């Protein structure tokens, strides 16, 4: 079934390729050529909204917390598949609750035969986790196939969490230093504020949705960071270029021009990344489901918003182009040269 669909789509691509190569296809303009949205004025709304959302996210983080996955919390996780085709969760619960391992979480996923079993970290160090796994395996017996097991002792889990956080910090600092080299410091600072904003909101999302926060979440966060910056840098590049070219244009107008002229690119790239993520979300299976869900939120919802409504307008507050009126006016047109 899927193969037929794939072959069909392949044929469609072949036809489209030939048709486009011959120039027979009308061009699809998602964004009109000349847009003049006043994005910068919107900062009076977007900044308070972002501030409020960030506070909500932080409050959620402290009240709701994150649903720490096994990577960071330690404990035991088993993924089992019932041989009979339907897992009897109630019976499983009864037999596993009797093991004295504290609360045993059972969760069905994917189909009636798949069950995810989680047991919290056992007191007594690494050996105790191993003993718990042995007990679980024994109690489950032959009625299920064990598809996956993960056992993490308390120290490794703690180290992974520390490492993950360290990595996040390292990435932010590394990117900051790079931007500082390539741009002026205001740009680096603006990008970092945007960065932190992205991460805070995404953490808020993870808190609300209670997706597992594990190593892959850190990977997702870092990708969001890199991608959102990618977007920000494209706009910053344009701002820098405009700053050189139009020495007298007022800052808000200059920012608007920069955002508008890169808008088409922002949206088209967004669509392509969303398409790729959508495929992963729908067909990639549950193993990377929370990974792609977090990325979808961070990249598609937050990332672009941040670049346009936070990263660019914040430059005004950081004093970019403050003394531009003093600059000698070289023979550049004050207004747009484009017809």
Contact in structure between 146 and 140 (CB atoms under 8 Å)? yes
Tell me the closest approach of the beta carbon of residue 163 to another protein, in angstroms.
5
- Of 238-267, which residues contact another protein (CB under 8 A)? 238, 241, 261-262, 264-265
Which range touches another protein (CB under 8 A), out of 1-9, 94-102, 251-259, 320-328? 1-9
Contacting another protein (CB under 8 A), which of 53, 56, 68, 234?
Answer: 234
| DSSP assignment of 107-176 | EEESEEEEEEEEEPPPSSHHHHHHHHHHHHHHHHGGGEEEEEEEEE-HHHHHHHHHHHHHHHHHHHHHHH
Tell me the closest approach of the beta carbon of residue 94 to another protein, in angstroms.
24
Nearer to another protein by C-beta: 97 or 126? 126
Where do we find the tokens 């690494």? 126
Which range touches another protein (CB under 8 A), out of 47-55, 144-152, 245-253, 315-323? 144-152
Contacting another protein (CB under 8 A), which of 89, 226, 318, 324?
Answer: 226
215 makes contact with another protein (CB under 8 A): yes
Binding mask 33-52 for another protein (x = CB under 8 A): xx------------------
Contacting another protein (CB under 8 A), which of 1, 4, 23, 331?
Answer: 23
Instruction: Give me the long-range contacts of 99-103 (CB less than 8 A, separation at least 24).
Output: 99/132, 99/135, 99/136, 99/139, 101/132, 101/135, 101/136
231 makes contact with another protein (CB under 8 A): yes
4 makes contact with another protein (CB under 8 A): no
Q: Residue 76: which H helix or E strand, with range?
A: strand 75-82
174 makes contact with another protein (CB under 8 A): yes
193 makes contact with another protein (CB under 8 A): no
155 makes contact with another protein (CB under 8 A): yes
Q: Give the integer Cα–Cα distance in Å for 200 and 203.
A: 5
Instruction: Give me the long-range contacts of 93-96 (CB less than 8 A, separation at least 24).
Output: 95/139, 95/140, 96/136, 96/139, 96/140
Contacting another protein (CB under 8 A), which of 54, 143, 230, 253?
Answer: 230
Q: Residue 287: which H helix or E strand, with range?
A: none
């Amino acid at each position: 079934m899927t193969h037929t669909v794939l072959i069909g789509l392949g044929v469609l691509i072949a036809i489209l390729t030939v048709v486009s190569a011959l120039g027979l296809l009308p061009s699809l303009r998602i964004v009109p050529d000349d847009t003049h949205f006043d994005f910068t004025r919107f900062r009076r709304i977007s900044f308070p909204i972002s501030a409020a959302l960030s506070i909500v996210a932080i409050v959620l983080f402290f009240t709701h917390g994150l649903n720490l996955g096994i990577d960071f919390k330690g404990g035991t996780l088993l993924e089992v598949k019932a041989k009979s085709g339907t897992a009897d969760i109630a019976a499983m619960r009864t037999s596993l609750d009797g093991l004295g391992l504290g609360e045993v979480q059972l969760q069905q996923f994917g189909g009636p035969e798949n069950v995810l079993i989680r047991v919290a970290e056992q007191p007594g160090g690494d050996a105790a986790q191993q003993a718990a796994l042995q007990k679980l395996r024994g109690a489950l017996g032959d009625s299920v196939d064990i598809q996956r097991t993960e056992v993490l002792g308390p120290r490794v889990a703690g180290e992974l969490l520390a490492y993950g956080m360290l990595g996040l910090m390292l990435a932010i600092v590394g990117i900051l230093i790079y931007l500082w080299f390539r741009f002026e410091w205001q740009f680096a600072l603006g990008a970092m504020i945007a960065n932190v904003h992205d991460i805070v909101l995404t953490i808020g999302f993870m808190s609300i949705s209670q997706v597992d926060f594990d190593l892959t979440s850190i990977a997702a966060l870092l990708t969001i960071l890199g991608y959102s910056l990618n977007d920000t840098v494209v706009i910053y590049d344009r701002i820098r270029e405009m700053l050189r070219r139009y020495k007298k244009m007022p800052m808000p107008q200059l920012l608007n021009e920069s955002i508008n002229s890169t808008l088409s690119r922002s949206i088209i790239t967004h669509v392509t990344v969303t398409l790729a993520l959508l495929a992963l979300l729908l067909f990639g299976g549950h193993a990377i489901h929370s990974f792609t869900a977090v990325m979808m939120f961070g990249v598609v919802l937050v990332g672009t918003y941040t670049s346009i409504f936070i990263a660019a307008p914040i430059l005004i507050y950081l004093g970019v182009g403050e003394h531009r009126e003093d600059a000698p006016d070289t023979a550049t047109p004050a207004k747009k040269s484009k017809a």
